[in-house]
Structure 1
């Protein structure tokens, strides 16, 4: 009989809930574990239970269909049933509890095992057994000390092959239970045989070693920020890559680790503190809200945005809803555009996802790079790894796709992972930095010039009003005052015109004095200069009109003198009409000369 009062062990219920989310919504198992913040659980046990259920999901579906358990047991949660079956058939081979769901699954145990025996060939799900990757936290432990510590525990260190990448893959596939070696690319990563249990190891509990897949460590390895650099991790939680960056830079420089989600942000802060990543500054905000001018010192950017997680477990993520995928790619493009345009000193960006869908990878890269204001170039990642890699992006996206990197579980013995390295054009980088400084300088200069002109205008108006009051208060007639006002207005207009001509040179003079420029003596001097200039201009025009009358000397042979005089008269009329400042005097002179000609003709 079933004991209805007995509850299902909670770790089975939590595992079933995460299994459902991963299968129907996508995402990373580890991410969901961190989001739930299950500190009172042994997350390693939960993780193992969930991944075991995912690996054998297809086989469990066949077994369930063979006995129609879900149809017969309509009240049984299908996701919980799959987790319990995975534990019974592929995990611990037993269910310790006495709850109704557990007892229901146990009642079908014989049918499950019979079907499995009869269909062994059909149930051989190809599951690649990945090695156990361990990153040494060099903030707390050197690699040489780590080797000695593992050797003290009975492990045997095997030197990494000096041959090709394919030779390395063969080497790690042949690792036995107590052998380990150093990774081919990332020297702070050690490789153990599949199934090695290190969750209870002292080095793990002391945060001196981090259980991190080799594929994710490549992002930091290829970003390669020198010691003392300023780095931005745009989607930092739970902090694996952030703390790896700190260790890579030996805590010299600055790392801005940004996370929007509050729970994940707390996880990030805890992990940064535990790993002694002292150069990390955590920021609880959305990276898209970081505007130009906020973190302008950033030189290197790591971007690992939310994705479908299709690279984590292939059998579950063979399909994803098109609408959700479209939303993900739209968000990923926004992040990458922001990274490329909002940080004027940024010189390298590494974009990565744990997805195997090209829509989230090559297509995002090509779409954003082609439309970016700043000039960025997709680097050949295989070339950066000196040719020691096998899987690259799709040629469907042109040369940019071929320059990207994929890590595939079946061939690279890692999780599924995508990575692209983008370097900024050096000329564009210099141009952006110069533009930033120039714009700042021009804004300051413009503000100063406008402020100066306003002060000058106010001072000039004040001096003009004071002079008018002094004139009215004196022994001057009304006519004199009106005449002086007109003259003052005309000279002020000349002063404004002259100031506009000389504005640039005045602004460049740091010792320029407003009081000195706008004093009465300076105004009178400028008035006299303008009046003298007008008189000279009038005199010059009149002299030109009366100059060199006997042009008969230049008349060619046979040309009548009368035609030459008429031509000269017409030229003089045209010249006088274009001269505005001496128009009245010119007209009077022209009329007088015509009158004189008529008198001479009458005589």
Structure 2
């Protein structure tokens, strides 16, 4: 009979509780293990047990379905049953306790083993085993000293390949038990074989090395804040990336580490102190409460918000409630927009999640960039990695999606991870997007103005080309204008002189006619009188002659009036020419020459008349 008074060993119950939380709520296994309630437990034992359960979760579900365990044992906690089964089949191969749940699982042992042996092809027997990653805390230990320390213990250091990233991936898969190498990208990180046990290592206990996955180290690597800069870690606990930032900056500058939850904040403070991260200033508050003007000195921002954790152990997170996913994505976008708009001097942001869902990743980044008041752009992660990476975002979210980076467990041998690097534009003002809208609205008007300017420029170029032969094209243009005005004036003067000559000739003709006609009239009168002819006929003839004379005189006067009108018009034209020549800065010498020519022609005309 079962002894109901015998309790289940506590580490099995704690492991079942954490496994349930990861499966239903999401989150990182490592972060959940940093709870104050677990400080009396051996963290490495819990981590190994939960990790083994997660790896074989899909297989355990098939085993339970075949044996109808959960249907028969209705009072058995399913999460605890999975942990105990993982320990029995894939872990220590035994259950030491005498509690009822343990004894229940042991009664199904033969049935479980028979099913696994008969369905080896159906079960997920091959599990991608990631290598052990170790980051050297350069606040306390240099990388060269760390290499010598491991070599003194019998480890063999293999230099990282100088070839491609694919060559490196092949290299780390061939590491044996006592081999280790340096990471291809993050040079403060070492890579060991997957079964390497370092939880009890002296360097780990002294916080000189940190057990941190490579994927979670990439955000700091791509944020790349130089020593002396100011950085904000918006969701800092448990402090892996925060302390990595301090080491990257050589403890020079300032790192604001913000955490809202009180218990996690205490974990953050303890870890910052243990790693000797002196440039870190912790803040127990909600990062959304940090308003514009509070931390205006921030230049670089690291944002790793809460997520589903679907990339940590893929087999557990095959399904997430849509309502929970929508709530998380809304919060993630809110965090990212706050980072983009509330820190005026921020010039680079790295947004990262331990999720493989695009809703939390590419879509969140795309929505934040499009709706931001500030001018931000997504940098191409492939270029930042110098082409040495294989997994990137989806084109379903446009160019922004393809510029993001993914770490895949099956190909990169890391946890599932996502990150995007955002950089502020050159102007960096909050009104930059508004200015873009205004510029689009005024595009048509600007184009018409540019066309008019082009027309003016072409006309200017034409005139400039005509004047390129001389050193001063403007003077040459003025000279051409003055020459044209002078030629016009000369032609008008010649026409005026010719007109005066014609009028004088007409006058002379009329005078000669008068002289010729007067004797004929007198002779005619004398003849008529002497011959005794009729005086009436001579008078009529005389009247006709007088009429003809008057008509001729009237014609002469009309011709003179017409000539006077022409003279006046020509004078006006000359005055206009003179005014135009004066406007074009006609030289005095040229004007005098024109006047001399006028006088000469007038003198000639006077001589002709005399």
Q: TM-score, normalised by structure 1?
A: 0.71
Gaps of 5+ in 2: 433-610
Count of matched residue positions in the alignment of Structure 1 and Structure 2: 432
What CA deviation, in whole Å up to 9, does each residue of 1:462-505 have, x standing for no partner? xxxxxxxxxxxxxxxxxxxxxxxxxxxxxxxxxxxxxxxxxxxx
What SS class does the counterpart of residue 420 from structure 1 fall into? strand
Is 1:76 matched up with 2:76?
Answer: yes
Gaps of 5+ in 1: 433-603
The match for 1:314 is 314
- State the 1:430 CA deviation: 10
The match for 1:477 is none
Is 1:107 matched up with 2:117?
Answer: no
The match for 2:577 is none
Root-mean-square deviation (Å): 1.2
What SS class does the counterpart of residue 266 from structure 2 fall into? helix
What SS class does the counterpart of residue 426 from structure 1 fall into? coil
The match for 2:324 is 324
Task: Report the Cα distance in structure 2 between the residues aligned to 1:345 and 1:37, rounded to whole angstroms.
Answer: 40
- Tell me: CA distance 1:399–1:116, structure 2 relative to 1, closer, same or farther (3 Å): same
What CA deviation, in whole Å up to 9, does each residue of 1:389-411 have, x standing for no partner? 00000000110000000000000
What SS class does the counterpart of residue 309 from structure 2 fall into? coil
Task: Report the Cα distance in structure 1 between the residues aligned to 2:152 and 2:297, rounded to whole angstroms.
Answer: 45
The match for 1:213 is 213
- State the 1:431 CA deviation: 8.4
What SS class does the counterpart of residue 218 from structure 1 fall into? helix
Is 1:426 matched up with 2:426?
Answer: yes
What SS class does the counterpart of residue 33 from structure 2 fall into? helix
What SS class does the counterpart of residue 134 from structure 1 fall into? strand
What SS class does the counterpart of residue 198 from structure 1 fall into? coil
What SS class does the counterpart of residue 58 from structure 1 fall into? helix
What SS class does the counterpart of residue 17 from structure 2 fall into? helix
Task: Report the Cα distance in structure 2 between the residues aligned to 1:334 and 1:67, rounded to whole angstroms.
Answer: 47
- State the 1:37 CA deviation: 3.8
The match for 1:260 is 260
Is 1:286 matched up with 2:281?
Answer: no
What CA deviation, in whole Å up to 9, does each residue of 1:191-221 have, x standing for no partner? 0011110000000000000000000100000
Task: Report the Cα distance in structure 2 between the residues aligned to 1:79 and 1:224, rounded to whole angstroms.
Answer: 42
Q: Out of 391-400 and 113-122, give the one that drifted further.
A: 113-122
What CA deviation, in whole Å up to 9, does each residue of 1:140-192 have, x standing for no partner? 00000000000011100000000000000000011011100000000000000
- State the 1:67 CA deviation: 1.5
Is 1:39 matched up with 2:39?
Answer: yes
Q: Out of 52-61 and 256-265, give the one that drifted further.
A: 52-61
The match for 2:413 is 413
Task: Report the Cα distance in structure 1 between the residues aligned to 2:429 and 2:180, rounded to whole angstroms.
Answer: 44
What CA deviation, in whole Å up to 9, does each residue of 1:7-65 have, x standing for no partner? 00001001101111111222222222224541001112111111111111111111111
Question: Is the contact between residue 37 and residue 263 of structure 1 (CA under 8 Å) also seen in structure 2?
Answer: no
- Tell me: CA distance 1:165–1:429, structure 2 relative to 1, closer, same or farther (3 Å): farther
The match for 2:380 is 380
- What aligned pairs does 1:200-239 form with structure 2 within 5 A after superposition? 200-239=200-239
Task: Report the Cα distance in structure 2 between the residues aligned to 1:362 and 1:246, rounded to whole angstroms.
Answer: 28
What CA deviation, in whole Å up to 9, does each residue of 1:223-280 have, x standing for no partner? 0000000000000000000000000000000000000000000000000000000000
Q: TM-score, normalised by structure 2?
A: 0.70
- What aligned pairs does 1:10-25 form with structure 2 within 5 A after superposition? 10-25=10-25
- What aligned pairs does 1:87-102 form with structure 2 within 5 A after superposition? 87-102=87-102
Q: Out of 112-121 and 352-361, give the one that drifted further.
A: 112-121
- State the 1:429 CA deviation: 5.3
Question: Is the contact between residue 234 and residue 259 of structure 1 (CA under 8 Å) also seen in structure 2?
Answer: yes
What SS class does the counterpart of residue 427 from structure 1 fall into? coil
Q: Out of 100-109 and 265-274, give the one that drifted further.
A: 100-109
- State the 1:364 CA deviation: 0.4
Task: Report the Cα distance in structure 1 between the residues aligned to 2:430 and 2:359, rounded to whole angstroms.
Answer: 33
Question: Is the contact between residue 374 and residue 431 of structure 2 (CA under 8 Å) also seen in structure 1?
Answer: no
Question: Is the contact between residue 408 and residue 415 of structure 2 (CA under 8 Å) also seen in structure 1?
Answer: yes
Question: Is the contact between residue 347 and residue 429 of structure 1 (CA under 8 Å) also seen in structure 2?
Answer: no
